[in-house]
Structure 1
Amino acid sequence: MKAARITAVGLVAAVALWIASGHLSPHEAPPAKTPGEQAAAADKPFRVGVLETHVVAHQRKFVLSGRTEADRKVMVLARTGGVLNDLRVRRGSHVKANDVLAILSDEAREAQVLQARALLDQRRDELEAKRRLIAVNAAPRLELSSLEAQVKAAEASLAAAEAERDRGVVRAPWDGVVTDVPAEVGTSAFSFSGKEIAQMVALDPLLAVVEVSERKLAGIELGHQAEVRLVTGQTVTGKVRYVSKSASQTTRTYRVEVEIANPDMKIPDGITAEVTIPVSPVPATRIPRSALVFSSKGELGIRIVDDQNMVAFVPVAPAEDAQAMMWVTGVADGARVIVQGQDFVREAQRVETVAVPPTALTAR
């Protein structure tokens, strides 16, 4: 037993001496670099991935958030007084231009019509009788002009009485949908004129309204086609019919209206919409969003590698945004844009480049 213990202690001591002598792993410790090798390593250019770009005429699209809006909206008012005894519409009613919405009755107006009609009949009879007398030389012709004038005055009185009576008939000003009816049957007022009868909206055509920033306004023109995607998932097409020339004082944006057909009036007023408007093409190139950097002055741009493999900053302007790849203007055709390592280099720094295929970027 004692001999075995002595043997084990001896083996441990031998292993310790071997490790201390460096013979256990003679190749693990690398040889120290010479000063020349260290200087060469420090001067080695930083390696970056570059994408060679190509400028094309890019058809831009502005994607804007907005809402639908009725082409016209009005509260139809009563034009005279009376009792509302016939209300022919309710909320949701579809009406055509000149359809009767309500009737205000007033016995006094009807009586005025009857009185004016009776007076007209009397004046006509008097004129006819006078003509018969003149025909047999029983009356002077001078009286004929006076009677003819009285007939015309009676005709005017009847027309005025009928017009006043007709003011009690409230009609739709145009095709549309009734959205509210604040009036109630049986309501009466000595002067009902100006009282609200029914609210109407015109939904065909329908408008998709967006607010556009100053930067995008110049690219939008009247007549441009637009695609409108509703929050319901429905997609319709239309065209730009109005571009405001005056900015909102609060948002500094400009109102743009896209007119869309809505013959069945199923698309309502006020629904959320996403409007895509193609605008004039611009020379642009496609780069990954991650390639964008800011200069020391806060300018948005990219870093490129010139013919001497030196880093340079180029300011750019977004032409169309996207999640991964985006279109920008301001990049020369054939420029080598740094798309890998752009955050670790600075202007006027020499670098080593490795070409990155476009497929490697779009696949990410």
Structure 2
Amino acid sequence: MSSGNGAAGTTDSEAQSGLPMRAGTDSAVQSELAPPKNASKTGRNQEPVKVVAQQSEARLVDTAVVLRGRTEAARQVDVMAETSGKVVSVPLRKGRMVTKGQELCKLDPGTRMATLADARARLAEASARVPEARARQDEAQARLDEAKINNNAALKLSQGGYATETRVATTQAGVRAGEAAVQAAKSGLESARAGIQSAEAGVAAVEREIEQLTITAPFDGLLETDTAEFGSLMQANGPAGGHCATIIQLDPLKLVGYVPETEVNKIVIGANAGARLAAGGEAVTGQVTFISRSADVKTRTFRIEIQVPNTDLRLRDGQTAEILIASDGAKAHLLPQSALTLNDEGKLGVRIVDTNSLAQFRAVKLLRDTPKGVLLTGLAQSATVIVIGQEYVIDDVEVAVTLSEIAQ
């Protein structure tokens, strides 16, 4: 709070109002706004303090969450080798655009083709065992059927007294032997079929390893590094990790920022957003695609992502940007910045004139600054706000108001 005496008070008023004071009118304005000599600081003045006020109406304004962030590639992948071998392809240089499926590195097959031929031969051998096993099963089944017929005949003859018990026991043993032979033949057939599956798996494994000799781009993107040099040894589990190249996708690009917990509920998926890059001041627009549900443990902020188009690749990964995210509108007053003041507790606010022509302090919240003034919330729909002379009055001081003609 400024003291209300002398030229110092006038200087504070000028600074607060932001209006130029003509040299010939300094003493007149000072005399008009200075409190009367018999004014009391704790009660009403005997004469009203003359102030300039502005009749303000709240209007619905767009609000925005403002934060600092950075650009980030939509995807970045280190393309690695899945098998070992020497590079036999000519390297591609960084900065080159590649398409999905394009060859990046080619490895020497070595003895893998011979291994594939051996695996296919084993598959053919296993396949040939199946008909033989099936024939053995059919033969065992036929013998079992014959043994059952002999056993039935022996039982009938035994009932008529024409066959001995020894013969019956022999035919029954033949049936049991036939059943065992059938079971063994079935097991042999299943083993032959399992041999085929094992051989097929061996062929597939070798074919897969041969496919892995050609390392391709997983998506359309930009080479961030050179591909592996011709003649270099790549090992999938080696110390170098079998690194072929690094690819980044810059279209679309992501804007990444961290929102404080007091602002995160103002943002929704699909909200429009804009950003201005620190380098060059280029403006970009996009939409919110991700809002984290878990806050950063240290900063208590939530990660948000905004997708922006970057077809010409003019934006780079890692650039700093000031991000504005649209949120629901709010009722706010547009007032001169000079109307702002502080109370004895250091709270930001303005002084208004109530219905009894008394000055009152009202705390406000600053939404944002504009070329025409500041947007403030915390006041009633309609308010008479002191814009010149607020530093000369305190709560419950009677004022004489001159309305400002400044248009909002």
Tell me if TM exceeds 0.5.
yes
Distance 2:325 2:283 in 1: 13
| Aligned residue number for residue 26 of structure 1 | none
2:112 maps to a residue whose letter is R
Match of 2:29 in 1: none
Residue in 2 that maps onto 1:79: 82
Q: Secondary structure at the match of 2:57?
A: coil
Moved more, 264-273 or 203-212: 264-273
User: Bigger shift: 71-80 or 186-195?
Assistant: 186-195
**Counterparts of 1:123 and 1:38 in 2: how far apart (Å)?**
116
Q: Secondary structure at the match of 2:317?
A: coil
Q: Note if 1:224 corresponds to 2:271.
A: yes
In structure 2, distance between residues paired with 1:248 and 1:317? 27
2:261 equivalent in structure 1: 214
Alpha-carbon separation, structure 2, partners of 1:189 and 1:255: 37
Q: TM-score, normalised by structure 1?
A: 0.77
Which among 161, 179, 187 is matched to residue 224 of structure 2? 179
Match of 2:326 among 278, 289, 313: 278
Gaps of 5+ in 1: 1-36
- Give 1:188's aligned amino acid: L
Is contact 1:95–1:172 with CA below 8 Å preserved after alignment?
Answer: yes
Matches of 1:235 and 1:283, distance apart in 2? 27
Residues 232-285 of structure 1, C-alpha deviation per residue, up to 9 Å, x if partnerless?
A: 454332111112334444544332211112344442212233323221011221
Q: Which moved more, 1:178-187 or 1:284-293?
A: 178-187
CA distance in 1, matches of 2:234, 2:382: 80
Equivalenced residue count is 322
The residue that corresponds to 1:150 in the other structure is: 195
Deviation at residue 187 of structure 1 after TM alignment: 1.3
CA distance in 2: counterparts of 1:292 and 1:254, whole angstroms: 32
Q: Percent identity?
A: 33
**Residue 159, structure 1, aligned to residue 162, structure 2:** no
Change (3 A) 1:127 1:87: farther
- Which residue of 1 is the match for residue 153 of structure 2? none
Instruction: Work out the CA distance in 2 between the residues paired with 1:339 and 1:57.
Output: 22
Which structure would you say has the larger RCO, counting Cα contacts within 8 Å and 6 or more residues apart?
A: 2
**Aligned to 1:221, what secondary structure does the other structure show?**
coil
Cα offset, 1:113, TM superposition = 1.5
CA deviations on 1:134-183 (whole Å, 9 max, x unpaired) are: 9xx9xx99566554443332221100111122233222222222212373
Q: d(CA) in 2 for partners of 1:39 and 1:104?
A: 97
Structure 2 counterpart of 1:297: 345
- Going from structure 1 to structure 2, the CA distance change for 1:352 and 1:167 (only over 3 Å counts) comes to same
- Asked whether the 8 Å contact 1:78–1:192 carries over to 2, the reply is no
Q: Secondary structure at the match of 1:211?
A: strand
* In structure 1, distance between residues paired with 2:82 and 2:37: 97
Distance 1:289 1:263, change over 3 A: same
Mind listing any 5+ residue stretches in structure 2 that lack a counterpart? 1-35, 40-44, 143-181
Corresponding position: 1:49 with 2:52? yes
Q: Per the alignment, do residues 124 and 263 of structure 1 end up closer, same or farther by CA in structure 2, a change over 3 Å counting? A: farther
Query: What does residue 61 of structure 1 align with?
Result: 64
Q: In 2, are the aligned partners of 1:84 and 1:104 still within 8 Å (CA)?
A: yes
Whether the 8 Å CA contact 1:62–1:320 is kept in 2: the answer is no
Task: Give the alignment's Cα RMSD to 1 decimal.
Answer: 3.3
Higher helix share: 2
Q: Confirm or deny: 8 A CA contact 2:82 2:236 kept in the other structure.
A: no
Q: Tell me the TM-score normalised to structure 2 length.
A: 0.69
- C-alpha spacing 1:39/1:161, structure 2 compared with 1 (3 Å): closer
Range moving further from structure 2, 190-199 or 299-308: 190-199
3-state secondary structure, aligned to 1:76:
strand
1:114 aligns with 2:110: no
Alpha-carbon distance change, 308 to 109 in structure 1, aligned in 2, over 3 angstroms: same
| CA deviation map 1:99-141 (0-9, x unaligned) | 322122241333321221233344445657x59989xx9xx99
Would the aligned equivalents of 1:88 and 1:100 in 2 still touch at CA under 8 Å?
Answer: no
2-side partners of 1:63 and 1:358: how far apart? 29
